[in-house]
Structure 1
């Protein structure tokens, strides 16, 4: 099933990141985009999410240097754009895959595209990894560990449900019971023509 593959790759990414455990480490994708395109996209997507997860931890340091914080904010903005771009690449993969499927007359549209469900699955993998760390952190209190174990069980249940829902959505699209409709990005704050602050800074 698709979600089994995705969850396996996400775990691979997160474990690989934590070998060095630094946001500045080099990135290397083990999947060739020419013959393993889907795996390539999933690996890259989760890597972006994993680095950004740790950006978000760092920027919450109450003693962070303001100049460093501003630089990090710019990195988070760029990461958010990369994340959204990757969602569109993954949706483009599925649009191409199912382009010859004729939806049934009573076919319906889902509330989100497959890739946005996959986006949530990637974030969920990170939550599970870090909640598991907290549940087993030996220097933490027993109360803390027990609370985190309870949260971890809920996250694991959520992963089963979300994985099942994504698999079902892809099966419904393949069978013509649902159809894909993707809306491209319409973000305004990075666009010099749409963000009045950026527009005001443009030089002639």
Structure 2
């Protein structure tokens, strides 16, 4: 099942990141380049670094210059994340390109890779909620509340994993078909963002 592979790799990536717990740590992807495993690990590494950048930028007394620098870095990360999700979807499009689609096949509104994207974020939520549930410097009330939230997150992980596996199974059987729309983000494109193309020097 693809979800089992995803969850195992995402968990490894999150744990690897937290060895140093530094947004500037070098990604040491252990999987063969261009393999699905490599893409999944890289996907979660991007998410994990961005998770911590989002934490840092919320520091109440952060230097404005540093905040802007981090915001630009988050924007770049979002673009990289989107590109990688689309690349993963390309992997599935190629894998199932010869499947005979049934006449009554249905279109799924979410592509496999965007569902996997949510699974990657869920792994981060689970990891950090687990840490909060085990904090020795927090109140018992805090730990209990986080334990309850962790239980819900784990159920969400199970449900989403099942949904991803079922979606791919139905695509493989021709009961559903993939249609991937490029995100077409405009804010990073100097030809589409008015602030950028009206301020050219």
TM tier, shorter chain? over 0.9
Deviation at 1:141, TM superposition (A): 0.1
| Unmatched 5+ stretches in structure 2 | none
TM-score, with structure 2 as normaliser: 0.98
User: Which structure 2 residues correspond to residues 23-172 of structure 1 after superposition, within 5 A?
Assistant: 23-34=23-34, 37-172=35-170
TM-score, with structure 1 as normaliser: 0.97
Structure 1 Cα separation of the partners of residues 18 and 67 of structure 2: 23
Paired residue total: 201
Task: Kindly report the root-mean-square deviation, in angstroms, between the aligned alpha carbons of the 2 structures.
Answer: 0.7
Structure 2 Cα separation of the partners of residues 146 and 78 of structure 1: 37
Give the equivalent residue in structure 1 for 2:18.
18
Question: Structure 1 residue runs of 4+, over 6 Å off?
Answer: none
| 2:172 is the counterpart of 1:178 | no
Structure 2 Cα separation of the partners of residues 24 and 194 of structure 1: 31
| Unmatched 5+ stretches in structure 1 | none
Q: Does the CA contact (< 8 Å) of 1:192 and 1:202 recur in 2?
A: no
Structure 2 Cα separation of the partners of residues 6 and 23 of structure 1: 22
Structure 1 Cα separation of the partners of residues 177 and 200 of structure 2: 42
Give the equivalent residue in structure 2 for 1:5.
5
